[in-house]
């Protein structure tokens, strides 16, 4: 899941819940990184095509919770991962991991695992370097854990650095700079596309490698700009205002939320809030709200069979036609075509 100080000991009164997985031999380096975690999380391997994916996929055993754990490796040196799950009871586990670098878009319940507890928000950008060592983690019950991440093994760091004409140390520092208080314009959008995309087995390698390259390029450009303009980061009070606004929008997708209402929640003026959203998301608050609604629409169309009229209603559209027009403007296809294509690829 995320980096944690392994010196933190697991409480004795929960020892019976701990699952320990000793270091084992795996066919690939990425198997060594992900399989122990998926197993420790009570994941049951399933065929990825059943969910319209390539790569490797697990579903959480229903006895312990629900959700999925997925990754796709490229040449066994880099890859992408998406997991989204919730557990019925606390879960504690430990396993071995190799050296790697990781950065991603984390859900609000994941952020505290990085030692950040002030106003966590969904889609928080975090990055870290992990030296191969025992990995210890504890999850809570009834909390949704979700993350979309990019993982680079040391060889991939060298490859991506050469591709972007920089020193690997520069890239590693840029990754480590994602401390939950920074926003990289366009980077969350790349992670959203990784989460939502369902490329075929023929095109998956090219698609995900391109997304990794795009993400690294955005990160390096941001890091260069940050070095030139050290005051680029949001102040803690501004970030709290932004996070309150984001959370309110995401919790009210079933209706139109006015800019005035968002400003009251964020305790910020319309001009200031617009500036914060422009700086963090590259869009206005209302554009962000439309983006959230469309992303939610994708999930509903993919994961449920409810009629399109109900999807439109649950997303605050007065008419199904308005919803279809907005969806096609965003994705280039109608909701009906989107659902049909996902089912055809499943």
Which among 76, 186, 178 is positioned nearest to 129, based on CA atoms?
Answer: 178
Distance, CA of 208 to CA of 150 (rounded, Å): 10
Q: Report pLDDT digits (tens) over 152-209.
A: 999 999 999 999 988 888 899 899 889 888 889 899 999 999 999 999 999 999 999 9
Q: Please check whether residue 214 is in contact with residue 274, taking contact to mean a CB–CB distance below 8 angstroms.
A: no
Q: Which residue has the tokens 């690294």?
A: 216
Residue 11's pLDDT is: 35
Q: Please check whether residue 163 is in contact with residue 171, taking contact to mean a CB–CB distance below 8 angstroms.
A: no
Q: With 60 as the cut, is the pLDDT of residue 6 above it?
A: no
Residues 6 or more apart whose Cβ sits within 8 Å of residue 267? 241, 244
Residue 182's pLDDT is: 82
Q: Report pLDDT digits (tens) over 38-53.
A: 888 899 999 887 778 8
Q: Which residue has the tokens 């809570």?
A: 140
Distance, CA of 333 to CA of 131 (rounded, Å): 44
Residue 345's pLDDT is: 62
Distance, CA of 197 to CA of 6 (rounded, Å): 34
CA distances from 53 to 20, 117, 192, 302, 346 (A): 29, 34, 15, 12, 7
Q: Please check whether residue 60 is in contact with residue 67, taking contact to mean a CB–CB distance below 8 angstroms.
A: yes
The arithmetic mean of pLDDT across residues 70-93, rounded, is 93
Query: Which residue intervals of 185-284 are DSSP H helices?
Result: 187-196, 204-228, 236-250, 259-266, 270-281
In the numeric block, which tokens belong to residue 153?
């093994």
Where do the domains of the chain lie? Answer: 12-230, 235-345
CA distances from 277 to 235, 285, 326, 345 (A): 14, 6, 21, 35
Q: What is the pTM of this model?
A: 0.69
Q: Report pLDDT digits (tens) over 122-162.
A: 789 999 988 777 777 788 899 999 999 999 999 999 999 99
In the numeric block, which tokens belong to residue 332?
């280039």
CATH 1.10.10.60 for domain 235-345: yes
Q: With 70 as the cut, is the pLDDT of residue 213 above it?
A: yes
Phi, psi dihedrals of residue 227, rounded to the nearest 5°: -65, -30
First to last CA, the chain: 27
Q: With 70 as the cut, is the pLDDT of residue 14 above it?
A: no
Distance, CA of 82 to CA of 106 (rounded, Å): 10
Beta bridge partners of 128: 102
Q: Please check whether residue 49 is in contact with residue 90, taking contact to mean a CB–CB distance below 8 angstroms.
A: no
Q: With 80 as the cut, is the pLDDT of residue 76 above it?
A: yes
Of 65 and 183, which is predicted with more confidence?
A: 65
Q: Please check whether residue 281 is in contact with residue 288, taking contact to mean a CB–CB distance below 8 angstroms.
A: yes
SS3 label, residue 116: coil
Beta bridge partners of 45: 58
Residue 326's pLDDT is: 86
Range 150-175 burial, b when 16+ CB lie within 10 A, else e: bbbbbebbebbbeeeebebebbbebb
Q: Which residue has the tokens 């079933």?
A: 254
Beta bridge partners of 57: 46, 70
Residue 212's pLDDT is: 97
**DSSP one-letter code for 151:** E
Of 95 and 152, which is predicted with more confidence?
A: 152
């Amino acid at each position: 899941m995320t980096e944690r100080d392994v010196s933190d000991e697991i409480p004795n009164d929960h020892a019976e819940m701990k699952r320990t997985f000793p270091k084992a031999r795996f066919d690939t380096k990425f198997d060594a990184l992900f399989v122990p975690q998926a197993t420790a999380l009570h994941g049951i391997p399933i065929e990825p095509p059943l969910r319209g994916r390539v790569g490797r996929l697990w579903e959480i055993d229903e006895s312990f919770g629900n959700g999925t754990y997925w990754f796709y490796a490229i040449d066994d040196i880099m890859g992408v991962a998406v997991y989204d799950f919730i557990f019925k009871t606390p879960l504690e586990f430990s396993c071995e991991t190799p050296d790697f670098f990781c950065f991603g878009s984390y859900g609000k319940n994941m952020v505290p695992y990085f030692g950040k507890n002030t106003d966590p928000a969904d889609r928080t950008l975090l990055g870290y370097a992990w030296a191969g060592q025992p990995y210890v983690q504890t999850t809570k019950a009834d909390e949704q854990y979700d993350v979309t991440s990019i993982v680079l093994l040391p060889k991939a760091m060298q490859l991506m650095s050469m591709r972007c004409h920089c020193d690997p140390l520069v890239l590693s520092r840029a990754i480590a700079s994602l401390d939950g208080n920074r926003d990289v314009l366009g980077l969350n959008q790349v992670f959203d596309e990784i989460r939502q995309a369902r490329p075929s087995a023929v095109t998956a390698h090219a698609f995900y490698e391109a997304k990794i390259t795009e993400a690294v390029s955005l990160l390096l450009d941001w890091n260069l700009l940050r070095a030139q303009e050290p005051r680029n980061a949001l102040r803690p009070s501004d970030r709290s205002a932004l996070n309150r606004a984001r959370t309110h929008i995401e919790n009210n997708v079933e209706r139109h939320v006015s800019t005035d209402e968002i400003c009251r929640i964020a305790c910020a003026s319309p001009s200031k809030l617009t500036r914060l959203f422009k700086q963090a998301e590259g869009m206005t608050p209302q554009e962000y709200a439309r983006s959230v609604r469309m992303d939610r629409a994708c999930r509903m169309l993919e994961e449920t069979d409810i009629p399109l009229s109900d999807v439109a209603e649950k997303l605050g559209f007065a008419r199904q036609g308005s919803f279809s027009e907005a969806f096609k403007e965003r994705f280039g296809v109608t909701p009906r075509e989107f659902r049909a294509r996902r089912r055809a690829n499943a």
